[in-house]
Amino acid sequence: MVALLHIIEQQGLLVATKMEWVKKLDTNLYELRSKVASNIQRGLYFHDEDNRYIITHGFTKKTQKTPINEIKHAREIRAEYYQRKDNDS
């Protein structure tokens, strides 16, 4: 997953999307897609501002679709992040 992040940082999100390393799941919620042999890892993230992206969490994918509970968990983390950010302002 870390190697994939470095490649995306170098190549950009446009290339990452074309290569299917990144998939949009919802409004401002995306999935990083890493696969090495039969090991399928996913990381969910959202865009904050400028060049800041926040990875909420990662998991091992075992089904074809991204589990709804993982998406829900990422939404909760995103909401908490923005709430804390607003409170700090």
Cα–Cα distance, 9 to 55 (Å, whole number): 14
Its pTM stands at 0.90
| CA dist list (Å): 22 to 42, 77, 85, 87 | 10, 19, 25, 31
Q: Which domain holds residue 78?
A: 2-88
Per-residue pLDDT tens for 24-74?
999 999 999 998 888 889 999 999 999 899 999 999 988 888 999 999 999
Structural domains counted in the chain: 1
For residues 15 and 72, the answer to whether their CB atoms sit within 8 Å is no
> What single string gives the DSSP state of each residue in 8-65?
HHHH-HHHHHHTTSEEEEETTEEEEEEEETTEEEEEEEEE-STT-EEEEEEEE--SSS
